[in-house]
Amino acid sequence: MVLLSPSIRALMSMLQICESYAVAHGLRYNVSKSELMAFKAGAKCYNIIPNLTLCGAPLKIVSKFKYLGHWVTDDLSDNSDTERERRSLAVRCNMLARRFARCTRQVKITLFKSYCQSFYTCSLWVNYTQRTYNGLRVQYNNAFRVLLGLPRYCSASGMFAESHTDGFAAIMRKRCPSMLSRLRGSPNRILSALSARWDSPMFAHWMRLHSIPSVA
């Protein structure tokens, strides 16, 4: 469960509601796994965060936490989550290359599409450094080369075109508008209203993906 609040006072009120609900329904929160994070607004941030408690125990203050497998940071940067995906991709690629080394080329391509193109929550990435983003792109290209036994410096665009497989840029161009389309079609009024804004970070990211050429 996640509580989002625009102020400390409002968050304290929400925590009190949770405590009252837990007492009324015989529930107990695991305070050791509960954390508190204050988001930064540009250069502005809380200099002093008062001690907030849940069921009498203080909440641990953190600068990032993982929610449903996605890293959320106080500065709203996606570098940590992009790096998580890069490491996960490296593990999956090495596993495929080791276990299916004797399979046919077509089988390897099918396995690659199934296990190496997920890029979990990549459609939410809007704030990252180019270095981190390129690191994931290079990892993706090298994963395909290793699995198929291709030369290290062969053309990325050429090998993906020959194998009828989406390259890194193509996947990103598809995932972001797909997410945006689902949000705009959502029956939730808050989600549909936010996604319809022309100044939303997600829409700006979608425009960058389709206007800036990528390097293979």
> What is the per-residue pLDDT across 172-208, written as a single tens digit (0 to 9) for each?
988 888 888 888 888 988 888 877 777 777 777 777 7
Among residues 34, 62, 90, which one ends one of the domains? 62
Domain assignment of residue 207, yes or no: yes
This prediction has a pTM of 0.82
Whether residue 189 sits in one domain with residue 135: yes
Cβ burial of 107 (10 Å; 0-12, 13-18, 19+) is exposed
Return the ∠ at Cα 66 (arms to 90 and 198), rounded to 5°.
Answer: 95
pLDDT at res. 210:
67
CA 102 from chain centre, in angstroms, equals 33
Residues 99 and 201 in one domain: yes
In the beta sheet, which residues pair with residue 61? 36
Candidate from 63-67, 159-163, 171-175, 211-215 with smallest mean pLDDT: 211-215
Same domain, 32 and 114: no
**Domain of 57?**
8-62
Q: Looking at the structure, tell me whether residues 42 and 104 fall in a common domain.
A: no
* Amino acid at residue number 215: V
> Quick one: 151 and 180 in the same domain?
yes
Least confident of 118-132, 149-163, 176-190: 176-190
Residue 209 confidence class, pLDDT cut points 50, 70, 90: confident
Assigned domain for 2 exists: no
Please state, in angstroms and rounded to a whole number, the distance separating the CA atoms of residues 62 and 86: 23
Q: Are residues 24 and 108 in the same domain?
A: no
Q: What is the mean pLDDT of the chain?
A: 89
Query: In this structure, are residues 168 and 214 in contact, taking their beta carbons and an 8 Å threshold?
Result: yes
